[in-house]
């Protein structure tokens, strides 16, 4: 794993510290956030397709970041790895989630997730998957960095899922065999495609089915629009409820918030590269999601009622 982690030094050092945002003014950016995306979406990782050397390299990178951030590994997982098997097109395949946690002051659990796999190499062309979903993994690592320095009230699990692109397989494996009793999981915050928006629009899906979560979605940054939606099947908009890993949690009636952007010209294309993400928007989006996570964590009594599908406070 350590050998696979080695990548060109130039990739690691070439991140920018500032760019102009969409209004044309200079903006300081989170260098580590950008570095994580740049590394994971570099050609060296070959698109991170499930079961490939590139996916193994991605896991090694994420594990190294977990170790440096001081995240703990559950005893059942070897070096943060939750291995699983699944069937695709009649073939048994293997996958590996990367799961770490920061203990809180209570046994209530928040799961923060993002999938690290992408499409790999298609007809000798690398599909790098910068927005989909190196960006979500980078957002996850940013939130983990905050809570590693600021002890959370709730125990927070950070899960980088494998095999999302072939049917949410990593998330399904996680909820089928969670490292904690499933009734202690209060909420899932999932990120998938949070770095590419020319309109500076970040959508939050989940408050239609779980309206109690709406009060935690607060944004005071005028440079970004944090919009609720894409979860009411009667709205006329595409329903994202089960479109990414939060769908596995929703199937267990675990409340969720899913953060993502609408499809863009680079979605599932070879042009989804580090160079095509919207850096200023990404910086603002990651900060906005962190604020939501902080708002939810302030509620020390969050509990999930599987029967009533509601969140209640003790």
Domain residue limits, the chain: 29-313
Handedness of CA 250, 255, 259, 263 (dihedral sign): positive
CA distance 41 to 48: 8
Peptide linkage before 236 cis (omega within 30 of 0): no
Tokens of 40: 């994971």
Tokens of 213: 């979560």
Q: % helix / strand / coil in the chain, to the nearest 5?
A: 35, 25, 40
The residues of the chain scoring below 50 in pLDDT are: 1-16, 304-314
**What per-residue confidence (pLDDT) applies to 311?**
39
Q: Could you tell me which of 109, 195, 214 has the C-alpha nearest to residue 158?
A: 109
**What per-residue confidence (pLDDT) applies to 27?**
67
CATH number listed for the domain at residues 29-313: 3.40.630.10
Tokens of 173: 């494996």
**What per-residue confidence (pLDDT) applies to 264?**
93
**Residues sharing a CB contact under 8 Å with residue 254, sequence separation 6 or more, in sequence order:** 175, 182, 185, 186, 187, 188, 304
CB 164 within 8 Å of CB 245: yes
């Amino acid at each position: 794993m350590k050998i696979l982690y080695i990548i060109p030094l130039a990739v690691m050092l070439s991140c920018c510290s500032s760019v102009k945002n969409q209004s044309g003014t200079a903006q300081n950016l989170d260098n580590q956030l950008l570095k994580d995306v740049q590394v994971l979406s570099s050609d060296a990782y070959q698109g991170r397709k499930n079961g490939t050397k590139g996916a193994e390299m991605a896991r090694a990178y994420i594990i190294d970041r977990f170790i440096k951030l001081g995240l703990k590994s559950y005893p059942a997982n070897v070096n943060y790895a939750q291995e699983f098997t699944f069937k695709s097109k009649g073939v048994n395949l293997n996958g590996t989630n990367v799961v770490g946690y920061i203990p809180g002051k209570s046994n209530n659990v928040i799961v923060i997730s993002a999938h690290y796999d992408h499409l790999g190499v298609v007809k000798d062309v690398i599909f790098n998957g910068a927005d989909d979903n190196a960006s979500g993994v980078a957002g996850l690592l940013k939130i983990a960095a905050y809570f590693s320095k600021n002890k959370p009230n709730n125990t927070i699990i950070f899960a980088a899922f494998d095999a999302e692109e072939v049917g949410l397989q990593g998330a399904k494996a996680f909820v089928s065999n969670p490292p904690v009793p499933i009734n202690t999981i209060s909420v899932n915050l999932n990120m998938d495609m949070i770095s590419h928006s020319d309109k500076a629009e970040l959508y939050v899906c989940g408050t239609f089915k779980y309206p109690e979560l709406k009060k935690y979605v607060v944004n005071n940054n005028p440079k970004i629009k944090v919009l609720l939606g894409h979860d009411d099947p009667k709205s006329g908009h595409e329903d994202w409820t089960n479109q990414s890993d939060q769908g596995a949690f929703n199937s267990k009636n675990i409340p969720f918030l899913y953060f993502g952007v609408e499809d863009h010209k680079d979605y599932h294309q070879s042009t989804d590269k580090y160079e095509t993400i919207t850096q200023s928007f990404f910086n603002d989006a990651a900060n906005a999601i962190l604020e939501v996570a902080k708002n939810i964590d302030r509620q020390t009594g969050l509990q999930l009622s599987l029967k009533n599908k509601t969140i209640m406070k003790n």
